[in-house]
Chain A
Amino acid sequence: MSEAYASQMQVLDEVAIRIQNMHKWYGEFHVLKNVNLTVNRGERIVICGPSGSGKSTLIRCINRLEEHQRGDIIVDDIELTNDIKNIAEIRREVGMVFQHFNLFPHLTVLENCTLAPIWVRRMPKADAEEIAMNYLEKVKIPDQALKFPGQLSGGQQQRVAIARSLCMNPRIMLFDEPTSALDPEMIAEVLDVMVSLAESGMTMLCVTHEMGFARKVANRVIFMDGGEIIEENEPEEFFNNPQSDRTKLFLSQILAH
Protein backbone atom coordinates (compact mmCIF):
# COMPACT_ATOMS: atom_id res chain seq x y z
CA MET A 1 0.00 0.00 0.00
CA SER A 2 2.74 2.39 1.01
CA GLU A 3 4.53 1.50 -2.20
CA ALA A 4 1.53 2.60 -4.22
CA TYR A 5 1.15 5.75 -2.12
CA ALA A 6 4.74 6.82 -2.69
CA SER A 7 4.58 6.13 -6.40
CA GLN A 8 1.64 8.51 -6.77
CA MET A 9 4.09 11.31 -6.31
CA GLN A 10 5.87 12.19 -9.44
CA VAL A 11 9.61 12.07 -9.92
CA LEU A 12 10.77 14.16 -12.83
CA ASP A 13 13.56 13.27 -15.16
CA GLU A 14 15.47 16.38 -14.18
CA VAL A 15 18.49 16.39 -11.88
CA ALA A 16 18.17 18.54 -8.75
CA ILE A 17 21.35 17.59 -6.91
CA ARG A 18 24.40 15.76 -8.16
CA ILE A 19 27.17 14.77 -5.78
CA GLN A 20 30.24 13.16 -7.33
CA ASN A 21 33.21 11.54 -5.59
CA MET A 22 32.80 13.87 -2.66
CA HIS A 23 35.12 13.73 0.34
CA LYS A 24 35.17 15.70 3.55
CA TRP A 25 37.62 15.79 6.41
CA TYR A 26 37.39 17.36 9.86
CA GLY A 27 41.10 17.92 10.35
CA GLU A 28 42.53 14.41 10.17
CA PHE A 29 39.15 12.73 10.49
CA HIS A 30 37.70 11.48 7.20
CA VAL A 31 33.96 12.16 7.67
CA LEU A 32 32.62 11.56 4.18
CA LYS A 33 34.29 9.07 1.87
CA ASN A 34 33.66 9.13 -1.83
CA VAL A 35 29.97 9.98 -1.72
CA ASN A 36 28.06 9.70 -5.00
CA LEU A 37 24.42 10.69 -5.07
CA THR A 38 22.07 11.97 -7.73
CA VAL A 39 18.70 13.35 -6.72
CA ASN A 40 16.03 14.01 -9.30
CA ARG A 41 13.44 16.71 -8.97
CA GLY A 42 10.48 15.48 -6.93
CA GLU A 43 12.40 12.73 -5.18
CA ARG A 44 11.91 12.13 -1.45
CA ILE A 45 15.04 10.60 -0.03
CA VAL A 46 15.40 9.39 3.53
CA ILE A 47 18.93 9.05 4.86
CA CYS A 48 19.47 6.85 7.89
CA GLY A 49 22.37 5.29 9.70
CA PRO A 50 24.01 5.12 13.12
CA SER A 51 25.06 8.35 14.81
CA GLY A 52 28.38 9.68 13.56
CA SER A 53 27.89 8.07 10.17
CA GLY A 54 28.00 11.43 8.39
CA LYS A 55 24.34 11.77 7.38
CA SER A 56 23.89 15.24 8.82
CA THR A 57 27.24 16.35 7.47
CA LEU A 58 26.22 15.15 4.01
CA ILE A 59 23.07 17.24 3.82
CA ARG A 60 24.80 20.21 5.46
CA CYS A 61 27.32 20.09 2.62
CA ILE A 62 24.51 20.65 0.14
CA ASN A 63 23.85 24.22 1.33
CA ARG A 64 27.45 24.83 2.36
CA LEU A 65 26.97 24.90 6.09
CA GLU A 66 29.88 22.48 5.82
CA GLU A 67 32.62 22.70 3.24
CA HIS A 68 33.69 19.62 1.26
CA GLN A 69 37.33 19.19 0.32
CA ARG A 70 37.21 17.01 -2.75
CA GLY A 71 34.69 16.11 -5.44
CA ASP A 72 31.76 18.06 -6.88
CA ILE A 73 28.39 19.11 -5.57
CA ILE A 74 26.03 20.59 -8.14
CA VAL A 75 22.71 21.96 -6.94
CA ASP A 76 20.18 23.24 -9.47
CA ASP A 77 22.94 23.37 -12.09
CA ILE A 78 25.03 25.61 -9.84
CA GLU A 79 28.32 24.20 -8.70
CA LEU A 80 29.23 24.69 -5.06
CA THR A 81 32.64 26.32 -4.95
CA ASN A 82 34.16 28.98 -2.76
CA ASP A 83 32.39 31.55 -4.94
CA ILE A 84 30.22 33.47 -2.50
CA LYS A 85 27.73 34.30 -5.24
CA ASN A 86 27.11 30.62 -5.98
CA ILE A 87 26.72 29.80 -2.31
CA ALA A 88 24.22 32.63 -1.86
CA GLU A 89 22.29 31.51 -4.93
CA ILE A 90 22.09 27.91 -3.74
CA ARG A 91 21.06 28.91 -0.22
CA ARG A 92 18.20 30.93 -1.69
CA GLU A 93 16.88 27.82 -3.46
CA VAL A 94 17.52 25.27 -0.71
CA GLY A 95 15.51 25.32 2.50
CA MET A 96 16.67 23.64 5.68
CA VAL A 97 14.96 22.46 8.84
CA PHE A 98 17.09 21.75 11.90
CA GLN A 99 16.83 19.32 14.77
CA HIS A 100 16.63 22.16 17.29
CA PHE A 101 14.37 24.38 15.14
CA ASN A 102 16.72 27.38 15.44
CA LEU A 103 13.91 29.92 15.30
CA PHE A 104 14.96 33.49 16.00
CA PRO A 105 13.79 34.08 19.60
CA HIS A 106 13.79 37.88 19.30
CA LEU A 107 11.31 37.89 16.43
CA THR A 108 7.66 36.90 16.34
CA VAL A 109 6.57 33.83 14.41
CA LEU A 110 5.45 36.07 11.56
CA GLU A 111 8.71 38.04 11.58
CA ASN A 112 10.67 34.78 11.57
CA CYS A 113 8.84 33.89 8.38
CA THR A 114 9.16 37.28 6.68
CA LEU A 115 12.78 38.10 7.57
CA ALA A 116 14.41 36.29 4.66
CA PRO A 117 11.79 37.15 2.00
CA ILE A 118 12.08 40.84 2.92
CA TRP A 119 15.89 40.99 3.02
CA VAL A 120 16.89 38.34 0.51
CA ARG A 121 13.99 38.40 -1.96
CA ARG A 122 13.47 42.13 -1.39
CA MET A 123 9.77 41.63 -1.05
CA PRO A 124 7.36 44.33 0.14
CA LYS A 125 6.40 43.67 3.75
CA ALA A 126 2.72 43.19 3.03
CA ASP A 127 3.43 40.60 0.33
CA ALA A 128 5.88 38.74 2.56
CA GLU A 129 3.32 38.69 5.35
CA GLU A 130 0.63 37.39 3.05
CA ILE A 131 2.89 34.54 1.91
CA ALA A 132 3.92 33.83 5.49
CA MET A 133 0.31 33.64 6.68
CA ASN A 134 -0.42 31.34 3.78
CA TYR A 135 2.29 28.90 4.86
CA LEU A 136 1.45 29.26 8.55
CA GLU A 137 -2.05 28.15 7.61
CA LYS A 138 -0.60 25.18 5.76
CA VAL A 139 1.29 24.11 8.88
CA LYS A 140 -1.90 24.81 10.87
CA ILE A 141 -0.72 27.57 13.22
CA PRO A 142 -1.90 30.91 11.72
CA ASP A 143 -3.32 31.90 15.11
CA GLN A 144 0.18 31.88 16.66
CA ALA A 145 1.61 34.36 14.16
CA LEU A 146 2.13 37.20 16.63
CA LYS A 147 3.60 35.08 19.40
CA PHE A 148 7.29 34.61 20.05
CA PRO A 149 8.93 31.20 19.52
CA GLY A 150 9.49 30.78 23.27
CA GLN A 151 5.74 30.77 23.77
CA LEU A 152 5.18 27.74 21.51
CA SER A 153 5.52 24.01 22.04
CA GLY A 154 8.33 22.09 20.35
CA GLY A 155 6.04 20.67 17.68
CA GLN A 156 4.64 24.12 16.91
CA GLN A 157 8.13 25.58 16.74
CA GLN A 158 9.25 22.96 14.25
CA ARG A 159 6.20 23.64 12.09
CA VAL A 160 7.05 27.35 12.17
CA ALA A 161 10.59 26.44 11.11
CA ILE A 162 9.20 24.51 8.15
CA ALA A 163 6.92 27.42 7.23
CA ARG A 164 9.86 29.83 7.55
CA SER A 165 11.85 27.80 5.04
CA LEU A 166 8.92 27.48 2.66
CA CYS A 167 8.41 31.25 2.62
CA MET A 168 11.59 31.49 0.55
CA ASN A 169 9.87 29.27 -1.98
CA PRO A 170 12.74 26.77 -2.12
CA ARG A 171 13.03 24.09 -4.78
CA ILE A 172 14.74 21.64 -2.45
CA MET A 173 14.17 21.03 1.25
CA LEU A 174 16.71 19.51 3.62
CA PHE A 175 15.57 18.06 6.94
CA ASP A 176 18.19 17.33 9.59
CA GLU A 177 16.53 15.01 12.13
CA PRO A 178 13.47 17.26 12.35
CA THR A 179 11.67 15.14 14.95
CA SER A 180 14.55 13.96 17.15
CA ALA A 181 14.17 16.75 19.69
CA LEU A 182 10.40 16.42 19.99
CA ASP A 183 8.16 14.74 22.54
CA PRO A 184 6.48 11.64 21.07
CA GLU A 185 3.02 13.20 20.84
CA MET A 186 4.38 16.09 18.79
CA ILE A 187 6.22 14.01 16.23
CA ALA A 188 3.03 13.18 14.37
CA GLU A 189 2.03 16.81 13.78
CA VAL A 190 5.41 17.57 12.26
CA LEU A 191 5.46 14.42 10.13
CA ASP A 192 1.96 15.27 8.86
CA VAL A 193 3.25 18.59 7.58
CA MET A 194 6.22 16.86 5.93
CA VAL A 195 3.95 14.30 4.26
CA SER A 196 1.76 16.97 2.75
CA LEU A 197 4.87 18.81 1.61
CA ALA A 198 6.02 15.64 -0.14
CA GLU A 199 2.60 15.32 -1.76
CA SER A 200 3.00 18.79 -3.18
CA GLY A 201 5.98 17.54 -5.18
CA MET A 202 8.82 19.06 -3.18
CA THR A 203 12.28 17.56 -3.60
CA MET A 204 13.21 16.42 -0.10
CA LEU A 205 16.28 15.01 1.59
CA CYS A 206 15.52 13.91 5.08
CA VAL A 207 17.82 12.58 7.75
CA THR A 208 15.49 10.73 10.10
CA HIS A 209 14.93 7.53 12.00
CA GLU A 210 11.17 7.68 11.48
CA MET A 211 10.89 4.48 9.50
CA GLY A 212 7.11 4.80 9.20
CA PHE A 213 7.66 8.11 7.42
CA ALA A 214 10.32 6.51 5.21
CA ARG A 215 7.97 3.69 4.17
CA LYS A 216 5.11 6.06 3.51
CA VAL A 217 6.78 8.94 1.73
CA ALA A 218 10.28 8.10 0.54
CA ASN A 219 10.95 6.79 -2.91
CA ARG A 220 14.52 5.91 -1.89
CA VAL A 221 16.17 5.11 1.39
CA ILE A 222 19.90 5.58 1.83
CA PHE A 223 21.87 3.86 4.56
CA MET A 224 25.15 5.42 5.64
CA ASP A 225 27.82 4.13 7.95
CA GLY A 226 31.35 5.34 8.60
CA GLY A 227 31.00 8.21 6.13
CA GLU A 228 30.01 6.01 3.20
CA ILE A 229 26.77 5.24 1.46
CA ILE A 230 26.46 1.51 2.18
CA GLU A 231 23.17 0.79 0.56
CA GLU A 232 20.33 2.52 -1.24
CA ASN A 233 17.05 1.08 -2.35
CA GLU A 234 13.31 1.58 -2.59
CA PRO A 235 11.79 1.56 0.90
CA GLU A 236 9.99 -1.77 0.56
CA GLU A 237 13.10 -3.54 -0.66
CA PHE A 238 15.29 -1.72 1.83
CA PHE A 239 13.30 -2.78 4.86
CA ASN A 240 12.30 -6.25 3.71
CA ASN A 241 15.44 -7.32 2.00
CA PRO A 242 18.49 -5.43 3.24
CA GLN A 243 21.65 -6.42 1.42
CA SER A 244 24.63 -5.65 3.64
CA ASP A 245 25.26 -6.98 7.13
CA ARG A 246 25.65 -3.50 8.55
CA THR A 247 22.22 -2.51 7.24
CA LYS A 248 20.69 -5.65 8.69
CA LEU A 249 22.27 -4.94 12.08
CA PHE A 250 21.12 -1.32 12.05
CA LEU A 251 17.57 -2.21 11.07
CA SER A 252 17.36 -4.94 13.68
CA GLN A 253 18.44 -2.39 16.29
CA ILE A 254 16.04 0.39 15.43
CA LEU A 255 13.08 -1.86 14.65
CA ALA A 256 13.58 -4.04 17.75
CA HIS A 257 11.18 -2.05 19.88
Chain B
Amino acid sequence: MTATLAKAPSSPLRWTWAVLQLVRRDLKVRYKNSALGFFWSFLNPMMQIVILTIVFRHIMGSRIQNFSMELLTCLLPWMFFAQSLNDGAVCVAKDHLLVKKYPFPRIILPISSICSNLIHLVLGFVVLLTIFLLLPVSFNIYFLWVIPLLVIQFCLTLGLVLVAATLQMYYEDIRFLLASVTQVLFYLCPMVYTVQDVMESTRVLPIWKQLYLVANPLTPLFVGYRTALLHGAEWHLLGLPGSYYSYLAISAGWAVVVLAVGLLVWRRYEWHFPEVV
Protein backbone atom coordinates (compact mmCIF):
# COMPACT_ATOMS: atom_id res chain seq x y z
CA MET B 1 0.00 0.00 0.00
CA THR B 2 1.17 3.49 -0.68
CA ALA B 3 0.06 6.41 1.38
CA THR B 4 0.86 9.95 0.50
CA LEU B 5 0.65 12.80 2.93
CA ALA B 6 0.81 15.88 0.80
CA LYS B 7 0.50 18.68 3.32
CA ALA B 8 1.54 17.08 6.58
CA PRO B 9 3.00 19.45 9.18
CA SER B 10 6.59 19.73 8.04
CA SER B 11 9.81 18.00 9.17
CA PRO B 12 10.28 14.89 11.31
CA LEU B 13 11.83 17.14 13.96
CA ARG B 14 8.31 18.03 15.04
CA TRP B 15 8.10 14.72 16.84
CA THR B 16 10.70 15.90 19.34
CA TRP B 17 7.89 18.01 20.80
CA ALA B 18 5.82 14.89 21.23
CA VAL B 19 8.75 13.20 22.99
CA LEU B 20 9.11 16.20 25.31
CA GLN B 21 5.39 16.19 26.09
CA LEU B 22 5.44 12.47 26.84
CA VAL B 23 8.47 12.84 29.13
CA ARG B 24 6.76 15.71 30.88
CA ARG B 25 3.67 13.59 31.34
CA ASP B 26 5.69 10.65 32.74
CA LEU B 27 7.41 12.84 35.31
CA LYS B 28 4.22 14.64 36.29
CA VAL B 29 2.31 11.43 36.74
CA ARG B 30 5.12 9.72 38.63
CA TYR B 31 5.62 12.45 41.19
CA LYS B 32 2.08 13.66 41.44
CA ASN B 33 0.87 13.77 45.04
CA SER B 34 4.26 12.77 46.44
CA ALA B 35 5.66 15.31 48.85
CA LEU B 36 9.26 14.22 48.41
CA GLY B 37 9.09 13.72 44.65
CA PHE B 38 12.46 13.03 43.09
CA PHE B 39 13.96 12.30 46.49
CA TRP B 40 12.35 8.87 46.36
CA SER B 41 14.19 7.86 43.23
CA PHE B 42 17.46 8.73 44.92
CA LEU B 43 16.55 7.03 48.17
CA ASN B 44 16.33 3.65 46.46
CA PRO B 45 19.96 3.56 45.23
CA MET B 46 21.08 4.95 48.58
CA MET B 47 19.42 2.10 50.48
CA GLN B 48 20.95 -0.39 48.07
CA ILE B 49 24.37 1.13 48.54
CA VAL B 50 24.08 0.88 52.30
CA ILE B 51 23.04 -2.75 52.29
CA LEU B 52 25.44 -3.85 49.56
CA THR B 53 28.32 -2.09 51.31
CA ILE B 54 27.51 -3.81 54.59
CA VAL B 55 27.25 -7.21 52.95
CA PHE B 56 30.14 -7.10 50.50
CA ARG B 57 32.58 -4.77 52.19
CA HIS B 58 32.06 -5.39 55.88
CA ILE B 59 30.82 -8.99 55.95
CA MET B 60 32.39 -10.56 52.86
CA GLY B 61 35.48 -8.37 53.08
CA SER B 62 35.68 -7.08 49.51
CA ARG B 63 39.03 -5.47 48.83
CA ILE B 64 37.50 -2.56 46.91
CA GLN B 65 38.55 0.58 48.73
CA ASN B 66 35.92 3.26 49.06
CA PHE B 67 33.29 0.62 48.26
CA SER B 68 30.16 2.78 48.48
CA MET B 69 31.42 5.55 46.19
CA GLU B 70 32.72 3.01 43.66
CA LEU B 71 29.33 1.34 43.72
CA LEU B 72 27.33 4.56 43.52
CA THR B 73 29.08 5.78 40.36
CA CYS B 74 27.99 2.72 38.43
CA LEU B 75 24.77 1.99 40.29
CA LEU B 76 23.15 5.15 38.92
CA PRO B 77 23.78 4.18 35.26
CA TRP B 78 22.75 0.63 36.12
CA MET B 79 19.42 1.81 37.47
CA PHE B 80 18.95 3.86 34.32
CA PHE B 81 19.48 0.69 32.30
CA ALA B 82 17.32 -1.62 34.40
CA GLN B 83 14.47 0.84 34.85
CA SER B 84 14.49 1.79 31.15
CA LEU B 85 14.31 -1.84 30.12
CA ASN B 86 11.44 -2.65 32.45
CA ASP B 87 9.49 0.54 31.72
CA GLY B 88 10.27 0.31 28.02
CA ALA B 89 8.91 -3.20 27.65
CA VAL B 90 5.42 -2.01 28.55
CA CYS B 91 5.59 1.45 26.96
CA VAL B 92 3.35 0.59 23.99
CA ALA B 93 0.97 -1.59 25.96
CA LYS B 94 0.60 1.18 28.55
CA ASP B 95 -0.22 3.79 25.92
CA HIS B 96 -2.40 1.62 23.70
CA LEU B 97 -5.12 4.27 23.74
CA LEU B 98 -2.76 6.79 22.16
CA VAL B 99 -1.60 4.24 19.61
CA LYS B 100 -5.22 3.65 18.63
CA LYS B 101 -5.94 7.33 18.33
CA TYR B 102 -3.05 9.11 16.64
CA PRO B 103 -0.85 8.07 13.73
CA PHE B 104 2.41 9.37 15.25
CA PRO B 105 5.61 7.37 14.61
CA ARG B 106 5.38 4.70 17.29
CA ILE B 107 9.08 4.88 18.13
CA ILE B 108 8.52 8.07 20.13
CA LEU B 109 6.95 5.93 22.87
CA PRO B 110 10.09 3.89 23.71
CA ILE B 111 12.31 6.93 23.13
CA SER B 112 10.35 9.09 25.55
CA SER B 113 10.14 6.26 28.07
CA ILE B 114 13.94 5.97 28.09
CA CYS B 115 14.35 9.75 28.17
CA SER B 116 12.20 9.98 31.31
CA ASN B 117 14.61 7.60 33.00
CA LEU B 118 17.57 9.49 31.57
CA ILE B 119 16.36 12.58 33.41
CA HIS B 120 16.49 10.64 36.65
CA LEU B 121 20.02 9.60 35.87
CA VAL B 122 21.05 13.19 35.16
CA LEU B 123 19.48 14.35 38.42
CA GLY B 124 21.24 11.46 40.15
CA PHE B 125 24.57 12.60 38.71
CA VAL B 126 23.89 16.12 39.99
CA VAL B 127 23.45 14.70 43.49
CA LEU B 128 26.59 12.64 42.98
CA LEU B 129 28.61 15.71 42.03
CA THR B 130 27.26 17.44 45.11
CA ILE B 131 28.58 14.56 47.21
CA PHE B 132 31.92 14.97 45.43
CA LEU B 133 32.12 18.48 46.86
CA LEU B 134 32.38 16.92 50.31
CA LEU B 135 35.05 14.45 49.26
CA PRO B 136 38.65 14.86 48.17
CA VAL B 137 37.60 14.31 44.55
CA SER B 138 38.53 17.08 42.17
CA PHE B 139 36.37 17.95 39.21
CA ASN B 140 38.24 17.19 36.05
CA ILE B 141 38.02 16.85 32.30
CA TYR B 142 37.71 13.06 32.53
CA PHE B 143 34.16 13.45 33.78
CA LEU B 144 33.26 14.15 30.14
CA TRP B 145 33.83 10.45 29.43
CA VAL B 146 30.35 10.00 30.82
CA ILE B 147 28.87 11.46 27.63
CA PRO B 148 30.14 8.88 25.08
CA LEU B 149 29.43 6.13 27.60
CA LEU B 150 25.86 7.36 27.92
CA VAL B 151 25.45 7.51 24.14
CA ILE B 152 26.50 3.87 23.82
CA GLN B 153 24.28 2.88 26.72
CA PHE B 154 21.31 4.75 25.26
CA CYS B 155 21.63 2.99 21.89
CA LEU B 156 22.00 -0.38 23.55
CA THR B 157 19.01 0.21 25.80
CA LEU B 158 16.85 1.50 22.94
CA GLY B 159 17.64 -1.55 20.81
CA LEU B 160 16.70 -3.92 23.63
CA VAL B 161 13.58 -1.94 24.47
CA LEU B 162 12.38 -2.00 20.85
CA VAL B 163 12.58 -5.79 20.81
CA ALA B 164 11.12 -6.17 24.31
CA ALA B 165 8.21 -3.80 23.69
CA THR B 166 7.36 -5.57 20.43
CA LEU B 167 7.43 -9.01 22.07
CA GLN B 168 5.41 -7.69 25.00
CA MET B 169 2.57 -6.94 22.58
CA TYR B 170 2.27 -10.62 21.82
CA TYR B 171 3.50 -12.29 25.00
CA GLU B 172 2.59 -10.95 28.38
CA ASP B 173 5.51 -13.00 29.77
CA ILE B 174 8.21 -10.58 28.63
CA ARG B 175 7.60 -8.12 31.43
CA PHE B 176 8.01 -10.82 34.08
CA LEU B 177 10.97 -12.40 32.33
CA LEU B 178 12.77 -9.04 32.19
CA ALA B 179 12.25 -8.41 35.89
CA SER B 180 14.18 -11.62 36.65
CA VAL B 181 16.76 -11.11 33.93
CA THR B 182 17.71 -7.66 35.22
CA GLN B 183 18.28 -9.08 38.69
CA VAL B 184 20.67 -11.70 37.37
CA LEU B 185 22.32 -9.21 35.05
CA PHE B 186 23.18 -7.00 38.01
CA TYR B 187 25.52 -9.67 39.32
CA LEU B 188 26.89 -10.38 35.85
CA CYS B 189 28.16 -6.80 35.74
CA PRO B 190 31.12 -5.62 37.80
CA MET B 191 29.17 -3.71 40.42
CA VAL B 192 29.93 -5.37 43.76
CA TYR B 193 33.21 -6.80 42.48
CA THR B 194 35.80 -5.67 39.95
CA VAL B 195 36.88 -7.03 36.58
CA GLN B 196 40.21 -7.69 38.23
CA ASP B 197 38.53 -10.00 40.76
CA VAL B 198 37.14 -12.05 37.88
CA MET B 199 40.42 -12.15 35.98
CA GLU B 200 42.40 -13.22 39.03
CA SER B 201 39.91 -15.85 40.13
CA THR B 202 41.27 -19.38 39.98
CA ARG B 203 37.83 -20.94 39.91
CA VAL B 204 36.58 -19.20 36.76
CA LEU B 205 37.62 -21.04 33.60
CA PRO B 206 39.57 -18.95 31.06
CA ILE B 207 36.83 -19.40 28.47
CA TRP B 208 34.32 -17.81 30.85
CA LYS B 209 36.73 -14.98 31.53
CA GLN B 210 36.95 -14.32 27.80
CA LEU B 211 33.21 -14.46 27.47
CA TYR B 212 32.78 -12.21 30.48
CA LEU B 213 34.88 -9.55 28.78
CA VAL B 214 33.37 -9.58 25.30
CA ALA B 215 29.80 -10.89 25.62
CA ASN B 216 28.42 -8.36 28.08
CA PRO B 217 28.43 -4.89 26.52
CA LEU B 218 27.48 -3.36 29.86
CA THR B 219 30.74 -4.30 31.57
CA PRO B 220 33.00 -1.77 29.80
CA LEU B 221 30.36 0.91 30.35
CA PHE B 222 30.11 0.46 34.11
CA VAL B 223 33.85 0.23 34.68
CA GLY B 224 34.07 3.28 32.44
CA TYR B 225 31.72 5.40 34.57
CA ARG B 226 33.54 4.35 37.70
CA THR B 227 37.02 4.98 36.37
CA ALA B 228 36.20 8.29 34.69
CA LEU B 229 34.44 9.70 37.73
CA LEU B 230 36.73 8.42 40.47
CA HIS B 231 40.10 7.62 39.00
CA GLY B 232 40.75 10.25 36.36
CA ALA B 233 40.40 7.75 33.52
CA GLU B 234 43.40 5.72 34.62
CA TRP B 235 42.26 2.82 32.48
CA HIS B 236 45.45 0.82 33.04
CA LEU B 237 44.44 0.29 36.66
CA LEU B 238 41.42 -1.75 35.59
CA GLY B 239 43.25 -5.04 35.30
CA LEU B 240 41.88 -5.60 31.83
CA PRO B 241 43.90 -7.81 29.49
CA GLY B 242 44.51 -5.30 26.73
CA SER B 243 43.47 -1.70 26.24
CA TYR B 244 40.22 -0.37 27.66
CA TYR B 245 39.41 1.25 24.35
CA SER B 246 39.17 -2.08 22.54
CA TYR B 247 36.61 -3.28 25.08
CA LEU B 248 34.70 -0.06 24.72
CA ALA B 249 34.75 -0.56 20.94
CA ILE B 250 33.29 -4.05 21.38
CA SER B 251 30.61 -2.54 23.58
CA ALA B 252 29.83 0.11 20.97
CA GLY B 253 29.73 -2.61 18.31
CA TRP B 254 27.17 -4.50 20.37
CA ALA B 255 25.13 -1.34 20.77
CA VAL B 256 25.05 -0.79 16.99
CA VAL B 257 24.06 -4.40 16.30
CA VAL B 258 21.37 -4.47 19.00
CA LEU B 259 19.95 -1.15 17.86
CA ALA B 260 19.89 -2.29 14.23
CA VAL B 261 18.08 -5.51 15.14
CA GLY B 262 15.68 -3.52 17.35
CA LEU B 263 14.87 -1.10 14.53
CA LEU B 264 14.30 -3.94 12.07
CA VAL B 265 11.93 -5.74 14.43
CA TRP B 266 10.18 -2.48 15.22
CA ARG B 267 9.73 -1.51 11.60
CA ARG B 268 8.25 -4.90 10.86
CA TYR B 269 5.68 -4.81 13.66
CA GLU B 270 4.96 -1.21 14.68
CA TRP B 271 1.91 -0.87 12.44
CA HIS B 272 0.35 -3.99 13.87
CA PHE B 273 0.28 -2.49 17.38
CA PRO B 274 -3.15 -0.81 17.09
CA GLU B 275 -4.57 -4.17 16.04
CA VAL B 276 -3.22 -6.26 18.90
CA VAL B 277 -3.56 -3.92 21.85
A, B bound: no
